[in-house]
A and B are shown apart, each in its own frame.
Chain A
Amino acid sequence: MKQRNILLLFLVGMLLLLLSWMHLFVLQQEQGTYSSLIFWEFQVPRLLSALLAGGGLSLSGLLMQNLFQNPMAGPYVLGINSGASLFISLLILGAAPSFLNELSYVSAAMTGAFLAASFMFVVSKRVQNTQSLLVIGLMFASFTGAIEAVLQSFAAPEQVKQLFIWNMGSLQQMSAAQAPWLGTITVFGMATTLFLVKGLNAMVLGDAHALQLGIKVKQLKIVILFVTALLAGSITAYCGPIAFVGLAIPNLARALLKTQDHLLLILFSVVAGSFFLVAIDVLILLLDPWMTIPVNVLTAVIGAPYVAYLMLRQR
Protein backbone atom coordinates (compact mmCIF):
# COMPACT_ATOMS: atom_id res chain seq x y z
CA MET A 1 0.00 0.00 0.00
CA LYS A 2 2.71 2.39 1.02
CA GLN A 3 4.99 1.31 -1.81
CA ARG A 4 2.19 1.88 -4.27
CA ASN A 5 1.81 5.44 -3.00
CA ILE A 6 5.52 6.18 -3.22
CA LEU A 7 5.51 4.81 -6.75
CA LEU A 8 2.54 7.00 -7.63
CA LEU A 9 4.30 10.05 -6.18
CA PHE A 10 7.41 9.24 -8.20
CA LEU A 11 5.36 8.77 -11.36
CA VAL A 12 3.58 12.12 -11.04
CA GLY A 13 6.96 13.74 -10.29
CA MET A 14 8.40 12.32 -13.51
CA LEU A 15 5.35 13.42 -15.48
CA LEU A 16 5.74 16.90 -14.01
CA LEU A 17 9.33 17.11 -15.27
CA LEU A 18 8.25 15.94 -18.70
CA LEU A 19 5.37 18.40 -18.76
CA SER A 20 7.57 21.29 -17.61
CA TRP A 21 9.93 20.61 -20.48
CA MET A 22 6.96 20.44 -22.83
CA HIS A 23 5.69 23.75 -21.47
CA LEU A 24 8.98 25.46 -22.34
CA PHE A 25 9.04 23.72 -25.71
CA VAL A 26 5.52 24.82 -26.71
CA LEU A 27 6.27 28.35 -25.55
CA GLN A 28 9.46 28.23 -27.60
CA GLN A 29 7.58 27.10 -30.71
CA GLU A 30 5.18 29.96 -30.35
CA GLN A 31 8.04 32.40 -30.13
CA GLY A 32 9.66 31.08 -33.32
CA THR A 33 13.31 31.94 -32.81
CA TYR A 34 15.27 31.29 -29.65
CA SER A 35 16.42 34.27 -27.70
CA SER A 36 18.09 33.82 -24.35
CA LEU A 37 16.61 37.10 -23.18
CA ILE A 38 13.04 35.99 -23.90
CA PHE A 39 13.78 32.58 -22.46
CA TRP A 40 14.89 33.93 -19.07
CA GLU A 41 12.69 36.99 -18.89
CA PHE A 42 9.46 35.51 -20.16
CA GLN A 43 9.39 31.74 -20.55
CA VAL A 44 11.05 30.59 -17.34
CA PRO A 45 9.03 32.96 -15.07
CA ARG A 46 5.82 31.73 -16.66
CA LEU A 47 6.72 28.10 -16.00
CA LEU A 48 7.81 28.97 -12.45
CA SER A 49 4.49 30.78 -11.87
CA ALA A 50 2.56 27.66 -12.81
CA LEU A 51 4.81 25.36 -10.74
CA LEU A 52 4.83 27.51 -7.60
CA ALA A 53 1.21 28.63 -7.72
CA GLY A 54 -0.08 25.11 -8.39
CA GLY A 55 2.00 23.51 -5.64
CA GLY A 56 1.53 26.33 -3.15
CA LEU A 57 -2.22 26.69 -3.60
CA SER A 58 -2.94 23.00 -3.30
CA LEU A 59 -0.75 22.81 -0.20
CA SER A 60 -2.59 25.74 1.37
CA GLY A 61 -5.84 23.95 0.51
CA LEU A 62 -4.63 20.80 2.26
CA LEU A 63 -3.69 22.82 5.34
CA MET A 64 -7.04 24.61 5.40
CA GLN A 65 -8.94 21.36 5.08
CA ASN A 66 -7.04 20.09 8.09
CA LEU A 67 -7.52 23.32 10.07
CA PHE A 68 -11.25 23.59 9.37
CA GLN A 69 -11.72 19.82 9.53
CA ASN A 70 -13.69 20.22 6.35
CA PRO A 71 -12.73 18.56 3.05
CA MET A 72 -14.50 21.34 1.14
CA ALA A 73 -12.26 24.11 2.49
CA GLY A 74 -9.82 25.91 0.22
CA PRO A 75 -8.20 29.32 -0.21
CA TYR A 76 -10.58 30.41 -2.96
CA VAL A 77 -13.94 29.17 -1.64
CA LEU A 78 -13.29 30.50 1.85
CA GLY A 79 -12.46 33.94 0.56
CA ILE A 80 -8.73 33.98 1.37
CA ASN A 81 -7.96 35.22 -2.13
CA SER A 82 -10.70 37.82 -1.70
CA GLY A 83 -9.03 39.12 1.45
CA ALA A 84 -5.73 39.41 -0.40
CA SER A 85 -7.51 40.97 -3.35
CA LEU A 86 -9.21 43.61 -1.21
CA PHE A 87 -5.96 44.65 0.42
CA ILE A 88 -4.18 44.84 -2.93
CA SER A 89 -6.99 47.02 -4.28
CA LEU A 90 -6.67 49.25 -1.23
CA LEU A 91 -2.94 49.49 -1.84
CA ILE A 92 -3.14 50.19 -5.58
CA LEU A 93 -5.88 52.76 -5.13
CA GLY A 94 -4.77 54.29 -1.88
CA ALA A 95 -0.99 54.33 -1.77
CA ALA A 96 1.30 56.75 -3.53
CA PRO A 97 2.85 55.22 -6.69
CA SER A 98 6.33 55.43 -5.11
CA PHE A 99 5.12 53.15 -2.34
CA LEU A 100 4.07 50.40 -4.77
CA ASN A 101 6.94 47.95 -4.60
CA GLU A 102 7.53 44.25 -4.14
CA LEU A 103 7.42 44.37 -0.38
CA SER A 104 4.28 46.48 0.00
CA TYR A 105 2.47 44.42 -2.61
CA VAL A 106 3.22 41.05 -1.02
CA SER A 107 2.71 42.29 2.54
CA ALA A 108 -0.68 43.73 1.62
CA ALA A 109 -1.77 40.45 0.04
CA MET A 110 -0.53 38.39 2.98
CA THR A 111 -2.15 40.68 5.53
CA GLY A 112 -5.45 40.45 3.67
CA ALA A 113 -5.12 36.68 3.37
CA PHE A 114 -4.26 36.29 7.05
CA LEU A 115 -7.15 38.48 8.20
CA ALA A 116 -9.59 36.65 5.93
CA ALA A 117 -8.34 33.25 7.09
CA SER A 118 -8.55 34.27 10.76
CA PHE A 119 -12.04 35.67 10.26
CA MET A 120 -13.23 32.49 8.57
CA PHE A 121 -11.57 30.43 11.29
CA VAL A 122 -13.43 32.28 14.04
CA VAL A 123 -16.70 31.98 12.11
CA SER A 124 -16.15 28.27 11.45
CA LYS A 125 -16.40 27.53 15.17
CA ARG A 126 -20.03 28.60 15.07
CA VAL A 127 -20.88 26.60 11.97
CA GLN A 128 -21.86 22.98 12.34
CA ASN A 129 -21.96 21.59 8.85
CA THR A 130 -19.58 21.47 5.95
CA GLN A 131 -21.70 23.29 3.40
CA SER A 132 -22.68 26.28 5.55
CA LEU A 133 -19.06 27.31 5.83
CA LEU A 134 -18.80 27.46 2.04
CA VAL A 135 -21.87 29.66 1.83
CA ILE A 136 -20.36 32.03 4.38
CA GLY A 137 -17.11 31.98 2.37
CA LEU A 138 -19.04 32.97 -0.74
CA MET A 139 -20.85 35.74 1.12
CA PHE A 140 -17.54 37.01 2.43
CA ALA A 141 -16.10 36.99 -1.10
CA SER A 142 -19.04 38.87 -2.58
CA PHE A 143 -18.93 41.37 0.29
CA THR A 144 -15.24 42.16 -0.28
CA GLY A 145 -16.00 42.22 -4.02
CA ALA A 146 -18.64 44.88 -3.38
CA ILE A 147 -16.23 46.99 -1.34
CA GLU A 148 -13.70 46.71 -4.16
CA ALA A 149 -16.32 47.84 -6.67
CA VAL A 150 -17.11 50.89 -4.54
CA LEU A 151 -13.41 51.68 -4.22
CA GLN A 152 -12.94 51.36 -7.96
CA SER A 153 -15.57 53.97 -8.66
CA PHE A 154 -13.14 56.48 -7.14
CA ALA A 155 -10.17 55.20 -9.11
CA ALA A 156 -8.52 56.41 -12.27
CA PRO A 157 -9.27 54.36 -15.42
CA GLU A 158 -5.65 53.20 -15.55
CA GLN A 159 -5.84 51.81 -12.01
CA VAL A 160 -9.13 50.10 -12.72
CA LYS A 161 -7.66 48.40 -15.76
CA GLN A 162 -4.64 47.25 -13.75
CA LEU A 163 -6.92 45.73 -11.10
CA PHE A 164 -9.20 44.16 -13.66
CA ILE A 165 -6.33 42.35 -15.35
CA TRP A 166 -4.90 41.25 -12.02
CA ASN A 167 -8.30 39.95 -10.87
CA MET A 168 -8.55 37.70 -13.93
CA GLY A 169 -5.70 35.59 -12.61
CA SER A 170 -2.76 34.95 -14.88
CA LEU A 171 0.54 33.12 -14.98
CA GLN A 172 2.16 35.78 -17.14
CA GLN A 173 2.25 38.66 -14.70
CA MET A 174 5.26 37.62 -12.69
CA SER A 175 8.53 39.12 -13.91
CA ALA A 176 11.92 37.45 -13.80
CA ALA A 177 12.90 39.74 -10.93
CA GLN A 178 9.85 38.67 -8.92
CA ALA A 179 10.35 34.93 -9.45
CA PRO A 180 12.99 34.49 -6.72
CA TRP A 181 10.71 36.25 -4.22
CA LEU A 182 7.75 34.00 -4.84
CA GLY A 183 10.08 31.00 -5.04
CA THR A 184 11.64 31.73 -1.65
CA ILE A 185 8.32 32.42 0.08
CA THR A 186 6.63 29.33 -1.35
CA VAL A 187 9.53 26.99 -0.63
CA PHE A 188 9.75 28.37 2.91
CA GLY A 189 6.03 27.72 3.40
CA MET A 190 6.34 24.21 2.03
CA ALA A 191 9.40 23.39 4.16
CA THR A 192 7.60 24.62 7.29
CA THR A 193 4.69 22.25 6.72
CA LEU A 194 7.03 19.27 6.75
CA PHE A 195 7.65 20.00 10.43
CA LEU A 196 3.91 19.96 11.11
CA VAL A 197 3.30 16.42 9.82
CA LYS A 198 2.86 14.76 13.21
CA GLY A 199 0.39 17.39 14.39
CA LEU A 200 -1.53 17.37 11.10
CA ASN A 201 -1.88 13.59 11.30
CA ALA A 202 -3.32 13.77 14.82
CA MET A 203 -5.58 16.75 14.01
CA VAL A 204 -7.52 14.52 11.66
CA LEU A 205 -9.25 13.11 14.77
CA GLY A 206 -10.34 16.55 15.94
CA ASP A 207 -9.00 19.04 18.49
CA ALA A 208 -9.77 17.14 21.67
CA HIS A 209 -8.21 13.92 20.42
CA ALA A 210 -5.13 15.68 19.06
CA LEU A 211 -4.65 17.39 22.42
CA GLN A 212 -4.99 14.02 24.13
CA LEU A 213 -2.23 12.71 21.86
CA GLY A 214 0.10 15.45 23.10
CA ILE A 215 -0.26 17.91 20.22
CA LYS A 216 -0.16 21.63 21.10
CA VAL A 217 -3.31 22.30 19.15
CA LYS A 218 -3.52 26.09 19.60
CA GLN A 219 0.06 26.69 18.52
CA LEU A 220 -0.34 24.33 15.59
CA LYS A 221 -3.46 26.15 14.39
CA ILE A 222 -1.77 29.54 14.50
CA VAL A 223 1.17 28.17 12.49
CA ILE A 224 -1.24 26.63 9.95
CA LEU A 225 -3.12 29.95 9.61
CA PHE A 226 0.16 31.77 9.12
CA VAL A 227 1.55 29.35 6.52
CA THR A 228 -1.78 29.30 4.65
CA ALA A 229 -1.83 33.08 4.47
CA LEU A 230 1.82 33.12 3.43
CA LEU A 231 1.24 30.72 0.55
CA ALA A 232 -2.18 31.86 -0.66
CA GLY A 233 -1.40 35.54 -0.08
CA SER A 234 1.92 35.68 -1.92
CA ILE A 235 0.64 33.58 -4.82
CA THR A 236 -2.45 35.77 -5.11
CA ALA A 237 -0.23 38.85 -5.11
CA TYR A 238 1.80 37.60 -8.09
CA CYS A 239 -0.74 35.62 -10.10
CA GLY A 240 -4.12 36.99 -9.08
CA PRO A 241 -6.85 34.82 -7.59
CA ILE A 242 -6.67 31.30 -9.05
CA ALA A 243 -9.70 29.16 -8.31
CA PHE A 244 -10.32 25.49 -7.41
CA VAL A 245 -6.72 24.19 -7.39
CA GLY A 246 -6.50 24.44 -3.62
CA LEU A 247 -9.79 22.66 -3.02
CA ALA A 248 -9.65 19.96 -5.68
CA ILE A 249 -6.06 18.66 -5.56
CA PRO A 250 -5.91 17.63 -1.85
CA ASN A 251 -9.21 15.78 -2.29
CA LEU A 252 -7.77 14.04 -5.32
CA ALA A 253 -4.68 13.19 -3.25
CA ARG A 254 -6.74 11.55 -0.49
CA ALA A 255 -8.90 9.69 -3.00
CA LEU A 256 -5.91 8.33 -4.92
CA LEU A 257 -3.55 7.61 -2.04
CA LYS A 258 -6.27 6.45 0.40
CA THR A 259 -4.26 7.74 3.33
CA GLN A 260 -4.29 10.45 5.98
CA ASP A 261 -0.51 10.40 6.37
CA HIS A 262 0.20 14.06 5.79
CA LEU A 263 3.80 13.56 4.71
CA LEU A 264 2.55 11.73 1.63
CA LEU A 265 -0.41 14.08 1.23
CA ILE A 266 1.84 17.17 1.37
CA LEU A 267 4.32 15.82 -1.16
CA PHE A 268 1.61 14.57 -3.49
CA SER A 269 -0.48 17.75 -3.26
CA VAL A 270 2.52 19.92 -4.11
CA VAL A 271 3.60 17.77 -7.08
CA ALA A 272 0.07 17.16 -8.39
CA GLY A 273 -0.91 20.82 -7.90
CA SER A 274 2.11 21.95 -9.91
CA PHE A 275 1.32 19.33 -12.53
CA PHE A 276 -2.28 20.48 -12.78
CA LEU A 277 -1.47 24.15 -13.29
CA VAL A 278 1.40 23.50 -15.74
CA ALA A 279 -0.91 21.19 -17.71
CA ILE A 280 -3.54 23.92 -17.80
CA ASP A 281 -0.99 26.43 -19.02
CA VAL A 282 0.21 24.04 -21.73
CA LEU A 283 -3.41 23.72 -22.83
CA ILE A 284 -3.76 27.51 -22.86
CA LEU A 285 -0.64 27.75 -25.02
CA LEU A 286 -1.83 25.07 -27.43
CA LEU A 287 -5.21 26.77 -27.82
CA ASP A 288 -3.65 30.21 -28.13
CA PRO A 289 -3.63 30.36 -31.95
CA TRP A 290 -7.45 30.11 -31.89
CA MET A 291 -8.51 31.71 -28.64
CA THR A 292 -7.12 33.38 -25.55
CA ILE A 293 -8.35 31.68 -22.40
CA PRO A 294 -7.65 33.04 -18.89
CA VAL A 295 -6.23 30.47 -16.49
CA ASN A 296 -9.24 30.76 -14.16
CA VAL A 297 -11.61 29.74 -16.91
CA LEU A 298 -9.82 26.44 -17.44
CA THR A 299 -9.35 25.67 -13.73
CA ALA A 300 -13.10 26.27 -13.31
CA VAL A 301 -14.03 24.09 -16.30
CA ILE A 302 -12.18 21.17 -14.74
CA GLY A 303 -12.34 22.08 -11.05
CA ALA A 304 -15.95 23.16 -10.59
CA PRO A 305 -17.57 19.88 -11.77
CA TYR A 306 -15.11 17.89 -9.65
CA VAL A 307 -15.94 19.94 -6.56
CA ALA A 308 -19.67 19.55 -7.29
CA TYR A 309 -19.12 15.81 -7.56
CA LEU A 310 -17.33 15.79 -4.20
CA MET A 311 -20.23 17.68 -2.59
CA LEU A 312 -22.78 15.23 -3.97
CA ARG A 313 -20.75 12.27 -2.79
CA GLN A 314 -20.68 13.80 0.70
CA ARG A 315 -24.40 12.89 0.90
Chain B
Amino acid sequence: MITIQQAQVGYHTTLIDIAQLALPAGQIYALIGRNGSGKSTLLQTLIGQLPLRAGSISVGAFTLEELQKNAALRAKQVSFVASMFTGVEALTLRAYVSLGRVPHLGAFGRLQATDLQFVDKVLQVLNLCDLAQKDTRKLSDGERQLASLARAIVQDTPLMVLDEPASFLDYFNRELLLDQLQHWVQQKPERSAVFSSHDIDLCLQKGIPILVLHQQKLTLLAKPTKQEVMALL
Protein backbone atom coordinates (compact mmCIF):
# COMPACT_ATOMS: atom_id res chain seq x y z
CA MET B 1 0.00 0.00 0.00
CA ILE B 2 1.42 3.34 -1.09
CA THR B 3 -0.20 6.53 0.18
CA ILE B 4 0.70 9.85 -1.35
CA GLN B 5 -0.41 13.20 0.12
CA GLN B 6 0.28 16.69 -1.21
CA ALA B 7 3.58 15.43 -2.59
CA GLN B 8 5.87 17.55 -4.72
CA VAL B 9 8.45 15.54 -6.59
CA GLY B 10 11.54 16.83 -8.38
CA TYR B 11 15.23 17.66 -8.09
CA HIS B 12 15.51 21.45 -8.13
CA THR B 13 12.04 22.36 -9.29
CA THR B 14 8.74 20.58 -8.79
CA LEU B 15 8.28 18.16 -11.65
CA ILE B 16 5.23 16.31 -10.38
CA ASP B 17 2.50 17.50 -8.06
CA ILE B 18 0.27 14.84 -6.50
CA ALA B 19 -2.62 16.01 -4.29
CA GLN B 20 -3.73 12.64 -3.05
CA LEU B 21 -3.37 9.09 -4.26
CA ALA B 22 -3.58 5.64 -2.73
CA LEU B 23 -2.23 2.52 -4.40
CA PRO B 24 -3.67 -0.54 -2.63
CA ALA B 25 -1.40 -3.56 -2.14
CA GLY B 26 -1.85 -6.76 -4.11
CA GLN B 27 -1.45 -5.05 -7.49
CA ILE B 28 1.20 -4.15 -9.98
CA TYR B 29 1.01 -0.65 -11.47
CA ALA B 30 2.32 0.44 -14.84
CA LEU B 31 3.69 3.98 -14.91
CA ILE B 32 3.11 5.45 -18.37
CA GLY B 33 4.32 8.83 -19.53
CA ARG B 34 6.05 10.55 -22.40
CA ASN B 35 9.82 10.98 -22.58
CA GLY B 36 10.98 13.50 -20.03
CA SER B 37 7.69 13.51 -18.12
CA GLY B 38 9.51 12.55 -14.91
CA LYS B 39 8.87 8.80 -14.63
CA SER B 40 12.38 8.02 -13.40
CA THR B 41 12.29 10.96 -11.00
CA LEU B 42 9.07 9.66 -9.48
CA LEU B 43 10.52 6.17 -9.16
CA GLN B 44 13.72 7.52 -7.57
CA THR B 45 11.50 9.26 -5.04
CA LEU B 46 9.53 6.11 -4.31
CA ILE B 47 12.68 4.15 -3.50
CA GLY B 48 13.88 6.85 -1.12
CA GLN B 49 16.82 7.96 -3.23
CA LEU B 50 15.41 11.43 -3.86
CA PRO B 51 13.82 13.42 -1.01
CA LEU B 52 10.36 14.89 -1.45
CA ARG B 53 10.19 18.62 -1.96
CA ALA B 54 6.97 18.76 0.06
CA GLY B 55 4.18 16.53 1.33
CA SER B 56 4.46 12.90 2.33
CA ILE B 57 4.52 9.42 0.88
CA SER B 58 4.21 6.29 2.94
CA VAL B 59 5.10 2.79 1.92
CA GLY B 60 3.32 0.20 4.05
CA ALA B 61 3.79 1.20 7.69
CA PHE B 62 6.69 3.58 7.06
CA THR B 63 7.03 7.09 5.64
CA LEU B 64 9.69 7.71 3.01
CA GLU B 65 11.55 9.93 5.47
CA GLU B 66 11.87 7.05 7.93
CA LEU B 67 13.14 4.80 5.18
CA GLN B 68 15.65 7.37 3.97
CA LYS B 69 17.18 7.62 7.41
CA ASN B 70 17.57 3.88 7.82
CA ALA B 71 19.21 2.10 4.88
CA ALA B 72 18.91 -1.34 6.47
CA LEU B 73 15.18 -0.91 7.07
CA ARG B 74 14.63 0.46 3.58
CA ALA B 75 16.41 -2.50 2.01
CA LYS B 76 13.86 -4.79 3.65
CA GLN B 77 10.91 -2.66 2.49
CA VAL B 78 11.75 -1.57 -1.05
CA SER B 79 13.65 -3.29 -3.85
CA PHE B 80 14.66 -1.56 -7.06
CA VAL B 81 15.37 -2.77 -10.59
CA ALA B 82 17.38 -0.16 -12.49
CA SER B 83 16.86 0.26 -16.22
CA MET B 84 20.39 -0.84 -17.01
CA PHE B 85 22.90 -3.19 -15.43
CA THR B 86 26.13 -3.46 -17.39
CA GLY B 87 27.61 -6.43 -15.56
CA VAL B 88 30.64 -6.80 -13.34
CA GLU B 89 33.78 -8.78 -14.13
CA ALA B 90 34.05 -12.13 -12.32
CA LEU B 91 30.52 -11.76 -10.93
CA THR B 92 28.41 -14.71 -12.06
CA LEU B 93 24.69 -14.35 -12.69
CA ARG B 94 23.92 -16.53 -9.65
CA ALA B 95 26.26 -14.46 -7.45
CA TYR B 96 24.60 -11.28 -8.74
CA VAL B 97 21.11 -12.54 -7.99
CA SER B 98 22.32 -13.71 -4.56
CA LEU B 99 23.29 -10.12 -3.71
CA GLY B 100 19.55 -9.51 -3.37
CA ARG B 101 19.79 -11.47 -0.12
CA VAL B 102 22.32 -9.00 1.38
CA PRO B 103 19.74 -7.15 3.55
CA HIS B 104 18.83 -10.45 5.20
CA LEU B 105 22.40 -11.65 5.89
CA GLY B 106 24.61 -11.41 8.98
CA ALA B 107 27.73 -9.26 9.37
CA PHE B 108 29.97 -11.52 7.31
CA GLY B 109 27.53 -11.75 4.40
CA ARG B 110 27.43 -15.56 4.29
CA LEU B 111 24.54 -17.10 2.34
CA GLN B 112 22.70 -19.88 4.14
CA ALA B 113 21.33 -23.00 2.45
CA THR B 114 17.81 -21.53 2.52
CA ASP B 115 19.04 -18.38 0.75
CA LEU B 116 20.63 -20.44 -2.00
CA GLN B 117 17.51 -22.59 -2.42
CA PHE B 118 15.44 -19.43 -2.77
CA VAL B 119 17.85 -18.03 -5.37
CA ASP B 120 17.84 -21.25 -7.39
CA LYS B 121 14.06 -21.43 -7.32
CA VAL B 122 13.77 -17.91 -8.74
CA LEU B 123 16.41 -18.63 -11.39
CA GLN B 124 14.38 -21.65 -12.45
CA VAL B 125 11.14 -19.69 -12.74
CA LEU B 126 12.84 -17.07 -14.93
CA ASN B 127 14.60 -19.70 -17.09
CA LEU B 128 18.03 -18.50 -16.00
CA CYS B 129 19.43 -21.78 -14.65
CA ASP B 130 21.61 -22.49 -17.68
CA LEU B 131 23.24 -19.07 -17.35
CA ALA B 132 23.78 -19.28 -13.58
CA GLN B 133 27.57 -19.63 -13.74
CA LYS B 134 28.05 -17.19 -16.61
CA ASP B 135 29.97 -13.93 -16.06
CA THR B 136 27.46 -11.04 -15.92
CA ARG B 137 29.62 -9.13 -18.41
CA LYS B 138 29.08 -11.85 -21.01
CA LEU B 139 25.29 -11.92 -20.77
CA SER B 140 23.01 -10.15 -23.23
CA ASP B 141 21.23 -6.96 -22.11
CA GLY B 142 17.95 -8.84 -21.90
CA GLU B 143 19.46 -11.63 -19.83
CA ARG B 144 20.90 -9.08 -17.43
CA GLN B 145 17.52 -7.40 -17.17
CA LEU B 146 15.86 -10.66 -16.17
CA ALA B 147 18.68 -11.24 -13.70
CA SER B 148 17.96 -7.83 -12.14
CA LEU B 149 14.33 -8.86 -11.71
CA ALA B 150 15.49 -12.09 -10.06
CA ARG B 151 17.74 -10.07 -7.72
CA ALA B 152 14.79 -7.90 -6.67
CA ILE B 153 12.55 -10.94 -6.16
CA VAL B 154 15.00 -12.62 -3.78
CA GLN B 155 15.28 -9.36 -1.84
CA ASP B 156 11.74 -10.24 -0.76
CA THR B 157 10.33 -6.77 0.02
CA PRO B 158 6.72 -5.52 0.22
CA LEU B 159 7.36 -2.98 -2.56
CA MET B 160 9.26 -3.50 -5.79
CA VAL B 161 10.03 -0.53 -8.05
CA LEU B 162 11.22 -1.14 -11.60
CA ASP B 163 12.55 1.45 -14.07
CA GLU B 164 11.72 0.26 -17.60
CA PRO B 165 12.43 -3.36 -16.72
CA ALA B 166 11.42 -4.65 -20.15
CA SER B 167 13.33 -2.28 -22.44
CA PHE B 168 15.76 -4.98 -23.62
CA LEU B 169 13.41 -7.97 -23.43
CA ASP B 170 11.95 -9.83 -26.39
CA TYR B 171 8.19 -10.31 -26.72
CA PHE B 172 8.12 -13.61 -24.83
CA ASN B 173 10.23 -12.36 -21.96
CA ARG B 174 8.07 -9.21 -21.68
CA GLU B 175 5.10 -11.46 -21.07
CA LEU B 176 7.14 -13.59 -18.68
CA LEU B 177 8.17 -10.48 -16.73
CA LEU B 178 4.61 -9.19 -16.33
CA ASP B 179 3.26 -12.65 -15.48
CA GLN B 180 5.96 -13.16 -12.88
CA LEU B 181 5.37 -9.71 -11.38
CA GLN B 182 1.63 -10.39 -11.13
CA HIS B 183 2.38 -13.78 -9.60
CA TRP B 184 4.85 -12.18 -7.18
CA VAL B 185 2.43 -9.56 -5.77
CA GLN B 186 -0.21 -12.21 -5.19
CA GLN B 187 2.07 -14.37 -3.06
CA LYS B 188 1.90 -12.07 -0.02
CA PRO B 189 -0.97 -9.67 0.79
CA GLU B 190 1.26 -6.66 1.54
CA ARG B 191 3.08 -6.74 -1.79
CA SER B 192 2.85 -4.25 -4.64
CA ALA B 193 5.01 -3.23 -7.56
CA VAL B 194 5.36 -0.10 -9.69
CA PHE B 195 7.12 -0.26 -13.05
CA SER B 196 7.60 2.29 -15.79
CA SER B 197 6.86 1.19 -19.33
CA HIS B 198 6.12 2.35 -22.85
CA ASP B 199 4.29 -0.82 -23.73
CA ILE B 200 0.70 0.44 -23.29
CA ASP B 201 -0.90 -2.30 -25.36
CA LEU B 202 0.60 -5.18 -23.43
CA CYS B 203 -0.34 -3.59 -20.10
CA LEU B 204 -3.93 -3.10 -21.30
CA GLN B 205 -4.06 -6.67 -22.55
CA LYS B 206 -2.94 -7.96 -19.14
CA GLY B 207 -5.47 -5.76 -17.34
CA ILE B 208 -2.82 -3.93 -15.34
CA PRO B 209 -3.84 -0.68 -13.60
CA ILE B 210 -2.08 2.27 -15.24
CA LEU B 211 -0.63 5.40 -13.68
CA VAL B 212 -0.50 8.11 -16.32
CA LEU B 213 2.06 10.85 -15.76
CA HIS B 214 1.52 13.93 -17.87
CA GLN B 215 2.22 17.61 -17.34
CA GLN B 216 2.98 17.31 -13.63
CA LYS B 217 -0.16 15.28 -12.94
CA LEU B 218 -0.37 11.64 -11.96
CA THR B 219 -3.66 9.87 -12.66
CA LEU B 220 -4.59 6.33 -11.65
CA LEU B 221 -6.73 4.32 -14.05
CA ALA B 222 -7.80 1.15 -12.25
CA LYS B 223 -9.49 -0.42 -15.28
CA PRO B 224 -8.05 1.49 -18.20
CA THR B 225 -9.04 1.51 -21.84
CA LYS B 226 -6.80 2.72 -24.61
CA GLN B 227 -8.95 5.82 -25.19
CA GLU B 228 -8.70 6.84 -21.54
CA VAL B 229 -4.93 6.46 -21.52
CA MET B 230 -4.48 8.32 -24.77
CA ALA B 231 -6.79 11.10 -23.65
CA LEU B 232 -4.53 11.76 -20.67
CA LEU B 233 -1.24 11.77 -22.57
Complex formed: what's the CA distance from A263 to B111 in Å?
A: 12
Complex formed: what's the CA distance from A212 to B78 in Å?
A: 8
Interface residues on B, range: 20 to 34
B74 touches A254 (CB 8 A): no
Q: A304 an interface residue at 8 Å Cβ cutoff?
A: no
Among A195, A197, A213, A215, chain B packs the most CB atoms within 10 A around the CB of A213
Knowing A197-B108, A259-B95, A261-B95 touch, does A254 contact B89 (C-beta < 8 A)?
Answer: yes
Complex formed: what's the CA distance from A255 to B99 in Å?
A: 20
B88 touches A198 (CB 8 A): no
Q: B47 an interface residue at 8 Å Cβ cutoff?
A: yes
Q: B7 an interface residue at 8 Å Cβ cutoff?
A: no
**Which residue of A is nearest B71, CB measured?**
A214
CB distance from B198 to the nearest CB of A (A): 23
**Which residue of B is nearest A197, CB measured?**
B109
CB distance from A128 to the nearest CB of B (A): 14
**Which residue of B is nearest A216, CB measured?**
B71
A interface footprint on B104-146 (CB within 8 Å = 1, 0 otherwise): 0111111000000000000000000000010100000000000
B interface footprint on A197-237 (CB within 8 Å = 1, 0 otherwise): 11101101100110111111100000000000000000000
The residues of A that contact B8 with a CB separation of less than 8 Å are none
A254 touches B90 (CB 8 A): yes
Quick one: which of B24-77 are within 8 Å of A by CB?
47, 49, 71-76
Knowing A202-B102, A259-B95, A261-B95 touch, does A215 contact B90 (C-beta < 8 A)?
Answer: no
Please pick, from A195, A211, A258, the residue contacting B71 in the complex, using a CB distance under 8 A. Answer: A211
CB distance from A173 to the nearest CB of B (A): 36
CB distance from A219 to the nearest CB of B (A): 10
Q: A194 an interface residue at 8 Å Cβ cutoff?
A: yes
Interface residues on A, range: 20 to 34
Complex formed: what's the CA distance from A258 to B110 in Å?
A: 18
CB distance from B143 to the nearest CB of A (A): 16
Among B71, B80, B92, chain A packs the most CB atoms within 10 A around the CB of B71
Quick one: which of B200-225 are within 8 Å of A by CB?
none
A208 touches B49 (CB 8 A): yes
Q: A71 an interface residue at 8 Å Cβ cutoff?
A: yes
A258 touches B92 (CB 8 A): yes
The SS class assigned to the B binding surface is mixed
Q: A156 an interface residue at 8 Å Cβ cutoff?
A: no
B88 touches A263 (CB 8 A): no
Among A197, A198, A254, A262, chain B packs the most CB atoms within 10 A around the CB of A198
CB distance from B106 to the nearest CB of A (A): 8
B108 touches A198 (CB 8 A): yes
Complex formed: what's the CA distance from A254 to B96 in Å?
A: 15
Please pick, from B88, B103, B106, B107, the residue contacting A213 in the complex, using a CB distance under 8 A. Answer: B103
Q: B91 an interface residue at 8 Å Cβ cutoff?
A: yes
Knowing A198-B107, A263-B109 touch, does A214 contact B92 (C-beta < 8 A)?
Answer: no
Complex formed: what's the CA distance from A205 to B89 in Å?
A: 11
Q: B79 an interface residue at 8 Å Cβ cutoff?
A: yes
The residues of B that contact A191 with a CB separation of less than 8 Å are none
The residues of B that contact A1 with a CB separation of less than 8 Å are 133
Complex formed: what's the CA distance from A197 to B107 in Å?
A: 8
A212 touches B92 (CB 8 A): no
Complex formed: what's the CA distance from A71 to B88 in Å?
A: 11
Complex formed: what's the CA distance from A215 to B73 in Å?
A: 10
CB distance from B42 to the nearest CB of A (A): 16
Complex formed: what's the CA distance from A197 to B99 in Å?
A: 12
A259 touches B90 (CB 8 A): yes
**Which residue of B is nearest A214, CB measured?**
B75
A215 touches B71 (CB 8 A): yes
A202 touches B99 (CB 8 A): yes
Complex formed: what's the CA distance from A199 to B107 in Å?
A: 9
CB distance from A10 to the nearest CB of B (A): 19
Complex formed: what's the CA distance from A195 to B47 in Å?
A: 27
Which 3 residue pairs spanning A and B have beta carbons closest together? A214-B75, A198-B109, A214-B103
Residues of A whose CB lies within 8 Å of any CB of B are 1, 71, 194-195, 197-199, 201-202, 204-205, 208-209, 211-217, 254-255, 257-263
Given A202-B102, A208-B82, A213-B102, 11 extra CB contacts under 8 A: A195-B107, A197-B109, A202-B99, A204-B88, A204-B91, A205-B85, A212-B75, A212-B79, A214-B72, A215-B102, A260-B95
- Name 7 A/B residue pairs within 8 A (Cβ), A-sorted: A195-B107, A198-B106, A202-B99, A213-B102, A214-B73, A216-B71, A260-B91
